Amino acid sequence: MPQFRYRAITSAGQIVVGELDAPSRAEVVHRIEHLGHLVIEAEAATGAGFSVKDLTGSRKKPRPRDVTLFLRQLGLLVAAGLTLEAALQTLAEDANKAVAWFAESLRSSIGSGEGFAEALERHPNIITPAYVATVRAGEASGKLEAVLLAIVEDRTRSELFVDRLNSAIAYPLFLIAAAVLILFFFLLFVVPQFGPVFSDLGNRLNGGAAFVITASAWLRANLGAFLGGCLAAALLAWFALGRRAARARVLAALAVVPGISGTMSDQRTARIVGTLALLIENGVGLPTTLKILRGVIREPRYVAALDQVHEQVRNGRRFSDALSQSDLLPPLATRMLRVGDETGDLASIARHAAQFYEHKLGIGLNRLMGLIGPATIIVVSLLIGALIVSIMSALLSITDLAT
């Protein structure tokens, strides 16, 4: 007997999906309506494409790059003349399970009468509020495909920055990891080889050698507890940094560290001004844009500054005047946005300002990573050198005693 996939709305307004064995589609519709549901779709199940099992069983969050590719393809299909629902169905049949679930979830919401922005709003962990507001403005203006491509461009820039940052910090992290492994190997396997020799010296060992011997003995005796403590600390840090408030406190602490504060300021400015440009140039009102920008900022100090600007703009004050009275952005960015506000071309000036600060951020990041690499090498060399000198000085002491 043929198998049919169906999607329906319950009397409570919930979307339900399932599969039925029935002789015809009419029989499937009759059975579903008998349950009091409203049929949205009923079609023969085929071996290819999306399955109900995938929809209900795969809730894994799609990767950011997959979401960007999905939005790019969606924009191209809509621009080619496909309806939004047809484009989502096409993408759901030709994607990995996580993206297919996302696409089919959007299609279900749209099929039940929701707008595309409302459907996206149901997935805040995948699509940020700034992008949802941009899509809502694009739907209202009839320029959804242009808005989707603008979002893709913004996400692509962000992903390239993340790749650049990861590449920049990979080398220092590798050096640190190598130093830790060498230190462990030295304390666990090399130092114990000299234990019987050093035990004869007793209190005549120099301070450095005595410390190394003691540390080696303690580590070998408590290796399991030490590794367990390290794992627990790593998990605790991971869970803590998963909370927005904890990340905000860490960023606030880093923002005052010399050498890092300037780069973090450029990154924050580029993100704020870039999001401002994206929203305004796609038709989102300034008060709504300022409200959405609150989700872009993490440091409490700058959140309070943005709230102050937002409140003043709502009360009728000019945006550039309210911005100049706060420390939300650097003076140069504030002056650039003032020019855009006074000339009525705020979106274009904001886009140029974002590009300027993204370029400045890249230069600062290269300079910072160029300093961290040599500094890490020096610290690692001093640490390993100190261990070797401690052992060698103890061995020389034995030689002196023997002569």
Mean pLDDT by 10 residues, the chain (403 residues): 70 64 78 74 58 47 88 87 84 78 86 85 86 86 85 87 78 80 84 71 63 82 89 85 68 70 85 90 86 82 90 90 91 93 90 90 81 79 78 66 53
Q: Which of 334, 307, 315, 331 is nearest to 323 (CA)?
A: 334
269 burial via Cβ count (<10 Å: 0-12, 13-18, 19+): buried
Report helix angle 244-254 to 223-241, nearest 10: 100
Q: Are residues 218 and 337 part of one domain?
A: yes
Instruction: Give the integer Cα–Cα distance in Å for 318 and 303.
Output: 19
Residue 53: the pLDDT is 42
The CA-to-CA distance between both ends of the chain, in Å, stands at: 98
- Using DSSP, how many helices (H) and how many strands (E) does the chain show? 18, 3
Residue 381 lies in a domain: yes
Q: Is 36 left (phi over 0), alpha (psi -120 to 50) or beta?
A: left
Residue 51 lies in a domain: no
- The domain of 191 spans 165-403
Residue 94: the pLDDT is 66
Q: Are residues 229 and 192 part of one domain?
A: yes
7's tokens? 């999607």
Residue 229: C-alpha distances to residues 24, 187, 222 (Å):
62, 18, 11
Domain containing residue 387: CATH number: 1.20.81.30
Q: Are residues 261 and 146 part of one domain?
A: no
Residue 232 lies in a domain: yes
Residue 38: the pLDDT is 73
Residue 258 lies in a domain: yes
Q: The pTM is what?
A: 0.66
- Three-state DSSP class for 70? helix
Q: Are residues 305 and 336 part of one domain?
A: yes
Domain count along the chain: 3
Instruction: Give the integer Cα–Cα distance in Å for 318 and 340.
Output: 12
Residue 361 lies in a domain: yes
Q: Which residues on neighbouring strands pair with residue 18, listed in sequence order?
A: 6
Enter the DSSP assignment of 38.
Answer: E
Q: Are residues 308 and 366 part of one domain?
A: yes
Domain containing residue 8: CATH number: 3.10.20
Q: Are residues 271 and 186 part of one domain?
A: yes
Q: Outline where 223-345 has alpha helix (H).
A: 223-241, 244-254, 261-281, 286-293, 300-314, 319-324, 331-343
Residue 266 lies in a domain: yes
Residue 169: the pLDDT is 76
Q: Are residues 171 and 148 part of one domain?
A: no
Q: Which of 15, 86, 2 is nearest to 45 (CA)?
A: 2
Q: How far is CA 261 from the centre of its chain?
A: 20
Q: Are residues 350 and 211 part of one domain?
A: yes
Q: Are residues 260 and 142 part of one domain?
A: no
Instruction: Give the integer Cα–Cα distance in Å for 52 and 5.
Output: 7
- Three-state DSSP class for 61? coil
Q: Are residues 100 and 199 part of one domain?
A: no
Q: Are residues 113 and 91 part of one domain?
A: yes
Residue 159 lies in a domain: no
Q: Are residues 25 and 91 part of one domain?
A: no
Residue 265: the pLDDT is 86
Residue 335 lies in a domain: yes
Residue 333: C-alpha distances to residues 37, 111, 227 (Å):
56, 44, 48
128's tokens? 């940020």
